[in-house]
Amino acid sequence: MATRPFGGKLVGGVKFYLVLLVFPAAVVLAIAAVETRIVHAPPANGATRGIVWHGHTFATRAEFARWLRSQGTSYRVWARRHPTPPFSFGRRPL
């Protein structure tokens, strides 16, 4: 019986062992996919740096200062009025 490679018990045994090896791997991959996509999904928006002020997002202090000048004030005046900014442009406060 073991001499018939394409029929009989030999092929049936190979199918059994193939399923026995593939099924656990498929279960592990499915669990990993659920964990990475559903349970621990990455945030839609990554961490941002800079400031959101008056409906605008500014990545640098120079950008913010330019916008303040266009609004008729300066960064120095704004900084005096807001001594503890709720943000950081990547620098530590002085």
Smallest CA-to-CA distance from 53 within 79, 23, 22, 25 is with: 79
**Confidence check: pLDDT of 26 > 60:** yes
**Confidence check: pLDDT of 36 > 90:** no
DSSP state of 46: -
Rounded to an integer, what distance in angstroms lies between the CA atom of residue 9 and that of residue 16? Answer: 10
Mean pLDDT of the 1-27 span: 73
- Can you give the pLDDT at residue 35? 85
Helix residue ranges, H only, the chain: 8-34, 61-70, 75-81
- Can you give the pLDDT at residue 69? 94
Q: Where are the domains of the chain?
A: 1-42, 46-94
- Residue 25's Cβ-count burial label (10 Å; 0-12, 13-18, 19+) is exposed
Q: What global pTM score does this model have? A: 0.42
